[in-house]
């Protein structure tokens, strides 16, 4: 059957399998992606079925992994790179920012680099240091990179398909705390545009905008607010670069209030750009300041303190109450 209920892990695995079957130029590379199937088992069974030349276990060297992927892309391949954990990507940041993001412009459009870099990101899994980062703003700030994050299994399947088919480099952020959330996936559905936002819940009093792991938190906040007679619209942004400002504007013109939620620190985060743009676009529609809810401007804490650091239901609802008080 084309439609079935899958976890995000299984949806990404199915999407990678489809890409490997469809295009012989697609390769998967990363630490332990082969025999082990990845630390989260996202690539489980793929090396067994497609061989070590298509699903490649690499050395523990992120810069070398991304550098090799760039070289393969220059020769016509479509590498899909797995960075094992969010905090491990920084040794490869130089390759990503100075080479991957700039090669197309440097070659005046004559060279394409269709590389996808998959990064499990975010906290709330009780992990040790360097395993719970949310570095998306560092990549979204770089011209030449596209950055996306699914919040559910259906988007995980289709957005990864679209990212692999794109001729531009795409940073694909996977919300690891939601890996085992299940939803219906139709593998024959015609997907919408990769960078288009999606209205996850209709509302009239205020818009909650989020992406990745925080979409579920915002939906829970909207359900809780409904019990108090408040109607909240939840917008799943899906893309951090480019951002679908038209969809946000349309929602805010309806609800007249906006709260942006992400796990990453609020200071200079993705929400800062959204707040500035929507204030410019919707100045005469807004009835309250655009508010942001996110992590604190501090290094990610030990796991026993992460519940205090991460934005949860109470902090989202507090921002909703403040916005509605105007």
Catalytic position from the list 104, 130, 131, 285: 131
CB atoms within 10 A of CB 147: 26
The last residue of a domain, from among 186, 218, 244: 186
Whether residues 59 and 173 fall in one domain:
yes
| Look-up of token digits 């509605």 | 324
Which of 83, 87, 80 has the alpha carbon at shortest distance from 125? 87
For residue 71, being part of any structural domain is answered with: yes
For residue 78, being part of any structural domain is answered with: yes
For the domain that residue 306 is a member of, what is the CATH number? 3.40.50.920
For residue 193, being part of any structural domain is answered with: no
Tokens matching residue 265: 């620190």
| The pairing of beta strand 146-148 with beta strand 291-295 | unpaired
Axis crossing angle, helix 8-22 with helix 153-165, rounded to the nearest 10: 30
Whether residues 10 and 48 fall in one domain:
yes
The last residue of a domain, from among 154, 186, 218: 186
Angle at alpha carbon of residue 225, lines to 253 and 199, rounded to 5°: 45
CA atoms within 13 A on the CB side of 186: 5
pTM for this model (two decimals): 0.96
Q: Look up 285 and say whether it is catalytic.
A: no
Range(s) of the domain holding residue 167: 3-186
Q: Characterize 268-301 residue by residue with b for buried, 16 or more Cβ atoms within 10 angstroms of its Cβ, and e for exposed.
A: ebbbbbbbeebeebbeeebeeebbbbbbeeeebb
The residue count of the chain comes to: 326
Residue pLDDT tens, the chain, 326 long: 478 999 999 999 999 999 999 999 999 999 999 999 999 999 999 999 999 999 999 999 999 999 999 999 999 999 999 999 999 999 999 999 999 999 999 999 999 999 999 999 999 999 999 999 999 999 999 999 999 999 999 999 999 999 999 999 999 999 999 999 999 999 888 788 999 999 999 999 999 999 999 999 999 999 999 999 999 999 999 999 999 999 999 999 999 999 999 999 999 999 999 999 999 999 999 999 999 999 999 999 999 999 999 999 999 999 999 999 99
Whole-number Å distance between alpha carbons of 17 and 27: 11
């Amino acid at each position: 059957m084309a439609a079935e209920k899958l976890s995000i892990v299984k949806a990404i695995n199915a999407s990678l399998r489809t890409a490997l079957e469809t295009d012989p130029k697609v390769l998967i590379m990363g630490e332990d992606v082969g025999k082990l199937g990845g630390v989260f088992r996202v690539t489980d069974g793929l090396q067994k079925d497609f061989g070590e030349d298509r699903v490649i276990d690499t050395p523990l060297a992120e810069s070398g992994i991304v550098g090799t992927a760039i070289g393969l892309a220059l020769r016509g391949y479509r590498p899909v790179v797995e960075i094992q954990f969010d905090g491990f990507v920084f040794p490869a940041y130089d390759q990503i920012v100075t080479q991957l993001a700039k090669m197309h412009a440097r070659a005046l459009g004559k060279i394409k680099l269709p590389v996808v870099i998959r990064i499990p990101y975010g906290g709330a899994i009780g992990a040790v240091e360097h395993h719970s980062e949310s570095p998306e703003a560092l990549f979204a700030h770089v011209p030449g990179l596209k950055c996306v994050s699914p919040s559910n299994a259906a988007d995980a399947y289709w957005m990864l398909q679209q990212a692999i088919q794109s001729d531009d480099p795409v940073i694909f952020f996977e919300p690891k705390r939601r890996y085992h959330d299940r939803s219906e996936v139709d593998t024959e559905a015609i997907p919408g545009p990769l960078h288009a936002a999606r209205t996850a819940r209709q509302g009239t009093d205020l818009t909650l905008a989020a992406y990745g792991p925080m979409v579920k938190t915002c939906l829970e906040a909207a359900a809780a607010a409904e019990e108090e007679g408040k109607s909240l619209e939840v917008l799943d942004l899906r893309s951090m670069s480019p951002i679908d400002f038209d969809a946000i504007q349309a929602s805010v013109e309806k609800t007249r209030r906006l709260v942006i939620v992400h796990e990453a620190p609020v200071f200079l985060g993705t929400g800062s750009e959204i707040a500035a743009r929507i204030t410019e676009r919707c100045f005469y529609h807004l009835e309250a300041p655009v508010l942001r809810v996110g992590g604190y401007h501090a290094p990610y804490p030990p796991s026993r303190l992460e519940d205090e650091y991460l934005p949860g239901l109470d902090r989202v609802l507090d921002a909703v109450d403040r916005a509605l008080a105007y």
